[in-house]
């Protein structure tokens, strides 16, 4: 099998004009944070209805800074989900707070908001929901819970650029909202992220914290009022982001088309009859996803060799897959904090059974059929 026939689970698409713009930045002599970052922030602010935005070197730094802006620190608790990239929990630990994991809704695979409210204690300072594969939670309920208990909300919207709730774009409302522009996201800077903020004052704080906390005055004045990190985005990355942002509407449309192709192909291949669970349908109540990923949940406990055997069979058929994500409360570090099997049964089942199928704009419309047919054949062969 040649590389040209292999279908990866994702592939970034950088056009020639964007590559040329990166070349111009490299030739300009200004390659770190500068005018391209400022232009990128301005366009992101416009996308999010004029809210202040600051760009960062990655979507992990954005969440750490958001926690610090929210005043979260030692002795505090932050409620989050166990089905997410481990960075979501790691940043809570990084500021000295305690991550409190709650279970997920088995249908949406997002954090169970009823479980969130039940987990609130006098030490809870914030809720950190994650929008799995770009699908928002019930935003009305989320913010009603936060308001009732006087909590900050730090939205891990890493995967949710251009997703909507009741027609409103995620990031255009709410509290602190973090996006990622890592290589496999719907738009990318190669590496990068941004934080949407509530006020210019918060934006100024975030700007200081992303570069060592430095405050400059005049030509030679420098002060540090609070220590920060080294989280600034470069103009090289911002030039990629600007080129990607111009294509966001067509990227979102194409992903939705491919998702529909998947649903049609899954029906033709009778995946659900094999015990394979599909993602929520395209018209979910109130929520519009950007289809960052198309994920199925396998009947892993009934498969010889489990999920890994399916992944190998698909790879042999020239199809790449991914795992997003294992239940992170069962990682060794979080076990050392007292988390155990059986505490979050939905998250644990999904974490050992979820499979990410290929989805990216340059795929052919026939590719979902190829994937679903191969998945069905593999599953039939491996079911106990």
* Residue from 36, 148, 185, 270 carrying the catalytic annotation: 185
| Cα–Cα distance for residue pair 187/159, rounded to 1 Å | 10
Other C-beta atoms within 10 Å of 286: how many?
14
Alpha-helix residue ranges (DSSP H) falling in the chain: 16-28, 35-47, 61-69, 87-94, 113-119, 139-148, 200-209, 235-245, 248-269, 306-316, 332-335, 345-353, 367-382
Other C-beta atoms within 10 Å of 183: how many?
13
Other C-beta atoms within 10 Å of 98: how many?
16
Other C-beta atoms within 10 Å of 19: how many?
12
| Cα–Cα distance for residue pair 217/211, rounded to 1 Å | 15
Length of the chain: 384
| Cα–Cα distance for residue pair 127/111, rounded to 1 Å | 10
CB contact at 8 A, 110 and 137:
yes
| Cα–Cα distance for residue pair 322/351, rounded to 1 Å | 12
Distances (CA, A) of 343 to 80, 105, 327, 348: 14, 14, 11, 9
| Cα–Cα distance for residue pair 143/55, rounded to 1 Å | 25
| Cα–Cα distance for residue pair 76/99, rounded to 1 Å | 9
| Secondary structure letter of residue 176 according to DSSP | E
| Cα–Cα distance for residue pair 133/321, rounded to 1 Å | 14
| CA diameter of the chain | 72
Query: In the block, which residue shows the tokens 């540090």?
Result: 224
3-state SS class at 309: helix
**Known catalytic membership, residue 185:** yes
Q: Among 269, 286, 287, which Cα is nearest to 278's?
A: 269
Helices and strands, counts by H and E, the chain: 13, 14
- Which sequence positions are flagged as catalytic? 185
């Amino acid at each position: 099998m040649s590389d040209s026939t292999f279908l990866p689970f994702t592939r970034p698409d950088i056009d020639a004009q964007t590559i040329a713009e990166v070349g111009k930045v490299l030739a300009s002599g200004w390659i770190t944070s500068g005018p391209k970052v400022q232009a990128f922030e301005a366009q992101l602010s416009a996308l999010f209805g004029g809210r202040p935005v600051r760009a960062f070197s990655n979507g992990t730094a954005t969440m750490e800074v958001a926690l610090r802006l929210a005043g979260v620190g030692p002795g505090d608790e932050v409620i989050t989900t166990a089905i997410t990239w481990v960075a979501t929990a790691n940043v809570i630990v990084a500021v000295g707070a305690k991550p409190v994991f709650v279970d997920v809704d088995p249908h949406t695979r997002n954090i169970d908001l009823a479980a969130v409210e039940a987990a609130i204690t006098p030490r809870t300072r914030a809720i950190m929901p994650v929008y799995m594969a770009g699908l928002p939670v019930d935003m009305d309920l989320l913010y009603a819970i936060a308001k009732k208990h006087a909590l900050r909300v730090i939205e891990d919207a890493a995967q949710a650029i251009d997703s909507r709730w009741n027609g409103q774009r995620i990031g255009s409302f709410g509290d602190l909202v973090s996006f990622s522009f890592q290589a496999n996201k719907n738009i990318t800077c190669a590496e990068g992220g941004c934080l949407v903020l509530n006020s210019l004052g918060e934006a100024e704080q975030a700007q200081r914290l992303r570069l060592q906390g430095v405050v400059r005055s005049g030509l030679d004045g420098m002060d540090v009022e609070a220590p920060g990190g080294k989280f600034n985005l470069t103009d090289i990355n911002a030039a990629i982001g600007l080129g990607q942002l111009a294509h966001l509407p067509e990227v979102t449309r194409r992903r939705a088309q491919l998702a529909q192709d998947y649903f049609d192909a899954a029906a033709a291949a009778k995946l659900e009859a094999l015990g394979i669970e599909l993602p929520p349908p395209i018209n979910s109540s109130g929520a519009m996803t950007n289809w960052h990923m198309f994920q199925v949940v396998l009947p892993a406990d009934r498969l010889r060799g489990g999920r890994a055997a399916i992944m190998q069979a698909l790879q042999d058929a020239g199809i790449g897959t991914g795992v997003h994500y294992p239940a992170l409360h069962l990682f060794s570090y979080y076990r050392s904090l007292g988390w155990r099997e059986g505490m979050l049964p939905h998250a644990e089942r999904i974490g050992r059974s979820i499979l990410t199928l290929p989805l990216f704009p340059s795929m052919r419309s026939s590719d979902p059929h190829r994937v679903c047919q191969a998945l069905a054949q593999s599953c039939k062969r491996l079911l106990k």
